[in-house]
Structure 1
Amino acid sequence: MNPIRHALAALARYGIFVALVVEFALFSIWSPNFFSTGNQLNVLHQNAPILVLAIGMTFVILTAGIDLSVGSVVALTAVGAAQLAVLDWEPIGLRVAVAVIGGALLGAICGMVNGLVITKVRIPPFVATLAMMLVAKGAVLIATDARPISQGLPDLFERLGQGGGASALIHVSAMLALFVVAWVVLRFTAFGKHVYAVGNNPEAAHLCGIRVPRVLVAVYLGCGLLAGIGGTMLATQLDSGDPKLGELMELDAIAAVVVGGTSLMGGRGSIWGTLAGGLLIAYLKNYLTLEGLPFFWQKVVIGVALILAAFLDRFRSE
């Protein structure tokens, strides 16, 4: 490997962490409000749902797959959780708990369907999850008549997402705990090794005795479960089950994973790289907002970041 390719490979492996530190330092210098505790907690709180989605997307992309349905699943599960929360029965605490768990399980069901369609019907992940995206979005719009569920939600449901610093800490702590769990699974379990093996070479993994379809179903089920958790988080943050939630969130999740160094070809990447990639994008969007730049510039910047990440991944693969 010549020096240029060696440098690019090193940049692709460790550059995201260096970039995150440099970005944080520069934004703290350029914007007086960026470094404040309130702003940092706000950034983490607002982006917790996206980062949770990115965990599931990391597992999917590590298997050389893709899940385009997570944004629509977020909307479906947010509405489902809100619908369960408005049911009139006591105690309220148990009702809210059922709503949160129900939203997560609804997401898991969607993910399991994706996995079964991909492995049993042998439809490519792009097509299968695109179909689920359309079905979930259409179903939630029909069920709600395209209107948000916001009336009758208990105060406890709202306080979970809009209770000031306490609710922010709950969401951020839950998000970080999920990253730790994902890291343990990928790093220390046989299932984690199987995920990497399937992404590297599914045929070789099968010859080694790995049940590839079972791994794929589990990965997509987990991705759906995490989308359900993210959707429930978002519903509590907005105190509403809006069928229009989650639009383009799948792209934000994919961006976090790819910018974080996970290869779209599968078999290579890390969960901490995903966290760093997600934070890099989140801080960049926050800085642009603090500086008063129009919202659409955020999308342009994310698109450029994706191109650069794909460019680095290409050289690392060669």
Structure 2
Amino acid sequence: MTTVIASATDAPRSWKARILGAPSAGPFLVLIAFCVIFAFTNPRFLATHNLSIILQQTVIIGVLAIGQTLVILTAGIDLAVGAICVLGTIVAGKLVNLGYDPVLSMSFAILICTISGLAAGGLVSGLRLPPFIVTLGILGILTAALRLISEGGAFAVRDPFLSWTGNTMKLSGFVITYGVVIMFALYAVVWYFLNETKWGRHVYAIGNNPEAARLVGIPVRRHLMSVYVLAGLIYGIGAWLALGRIPNADPNAMQTANLDSITAVVIGGTSLFGGRGGLIGTLIGALIVGVLRNGLTLAGIDPLWQDLVTGILVIIAVALDQMSRRRR
């Protein structure tokens, strides 16, 4: 009888421990805390219109952070996120403005972004170069290429298909864009591959210890290549969402996309050392950044102070992750 009572009382504890021990539990509590604080300080924060704006502003970084999460899970980092996305907007915009079919133009732009990911993955997996150096080099190459292709200036992209992701629809009075729907769909699909397939388990194994993964028969190089290719594909889709958000192709756009995507991933609980974290945390991290910037803007805080607060959150998140790894 005593044993039965003990096991009955232990079950709720293990259930709670699993929830609180999840990597996304901490970021979720932070998100709730920020929402409560901003709701008390400004009644407009919880207005339906404002919540819709937060989601719309989160779309681009939220999607780019998916690819960044995949790379960081393998203990890498991608500094060319923003440049690859901008490349997609400029290629698609140029082709459409020249009279080419918009569907084919956007498809070709996504293909170019995927090839950029393929190039990064080939250098990282084939030549075993550090991801930081590889993506930094690609960033420099694309920065120059973007200005050459666009002839140094921004240009408008007026095409219904390319801007379709920015169209809105109503769900019980809540207005969202098709871009928001696509973002959530991407999170669901990539989450499934990461958590329910052998490929996803191998990605985590490579992030934890690539040499151990190789010794147990996991094709490390091939999986690293697939991660960067998939990330490039996602950046290309992000370019389509960016054109829906702002129908303008600008070689100087998304200057902070690299930092913002890394911020969303790190705040979301994914370890910069690889092998730990997930997409649910990344989505929460992207929402934290969106809520924080929106709440501070409503409070009249200068954008420079917003960047300062965001940077502090990143340092705190990395410090907590480091302390957690040391305890383990």
Compute the TM-score of the two structures, normalised by the length of structure 2: 0.88
Give the fraction of aligned pairs with identical amino acids, expressed as a percent. 37
Quote the residue 1:30 is aligned against. 41
In the alignment, which of 67, 72, 78 is matched to residue 83 of structure 2? 72
Q: 1:278 aligns with which of 283, 286, 296?
A: 286
Match of 1:44 in 2: 55
2:42 matched to 1:14?
no
Q: Deviations over 1:212-265 (max 9, x none)?
A: 011111111111111111122112321111111121201100000011111111
Quote the residue 1:258 is aligned against.
266
SS of the aligned residue for 1:292 comes to coil
What pairs up with 1:177-216 in 2 under 5 angstroms? 177-216=185-224
- Aligned counterpart in structure 1 of residue 113 of structure 2, from 102, 107, 113: 107
Unaligned 5+ segments in structure 1 are 1-5, 90-94
1:59 Cα offset (Å): 0.8
Q: Over alpha carbons, which structure has the higher Rg?
A: 2
Deviations 1:189-221 (A, max 9, x none): 010000000000101101111110111111111
Contact conserved, 2:162 with 2:240, CA < 8 A, in 1?
Answer: no
What SS is found at the alignment partner of 2:274?
coil
Decide which of 56, 60, 72 is 1:61's aligned counterpart: 72
Task: Give how far 1:156 is off.
Answer: 4.3
Gaps of 5+ in 2: 1-16
Q: Report the counterpart of residue 139 of structure 2 in structure 1.
A: 133
Three-state SS of the structure 2 residue aligned to 1:33 is: helix
Deviation at 1:46, TM superposition (A): 1.7
Instruction: Please report how far the alpha carbon of residue 183 of structure 1 lies from its aligned counterpart in structure 2 after TM superposition.
Output: 1.0
Q: How many Å apart are 1:155 and its aligned residue?
A: 4.0
Q: 1:178 to 1:158 in 2, by over 3 A?
A: closer
Output aligned runs, 1:160-309, within 5 Å: 160-161=165-166, 163-165=167-169, 168-309=176-317
Aligned length: 304
What one-letter code is carried by the residue in structure 2 that aligns with 1:154? D
How far apart in 2 are the matches of 1:10 and 1:137? Answer: 41
Matches of 1:159 and 1:197 in 2, distance apart?
A: 39
In 2: Cα distance, 1:171 partner to 1:228 partner: 13
Q: 1:236 to 1:12 in 2, by over 3 A?
A: closer
Structure 2 letter corresponding to 1:212: V
Contact 2:64–2:234, Cα closer than 8 Å, also in 1: yes
Tell me, what secondary structure is at the counterpart of 2:155?
coil
Which of 103, 125, 129 is matched with 1:119 structurally? 125
Superposed displacement of residue 34, structure 1:
1.1
Q: Is the 8 A contact 1:73 1:137 kept in 2?
A: no
Could you tell me whether the CA contact under 8 Å between 1:12 and 1:312 is conserved in 2?
Answer: no
**In structure 1, C-alpha distance between the alignment counterparts of 2:255 and 2:245, rounded to whole Å:** 16
Contact 1:75 1:137 (8 Å CA) reproduced? no
2: distance between equivalents of 1:168 and 1:181? Answer: 20
- RMSD of equivalent CA atoms: 1.9
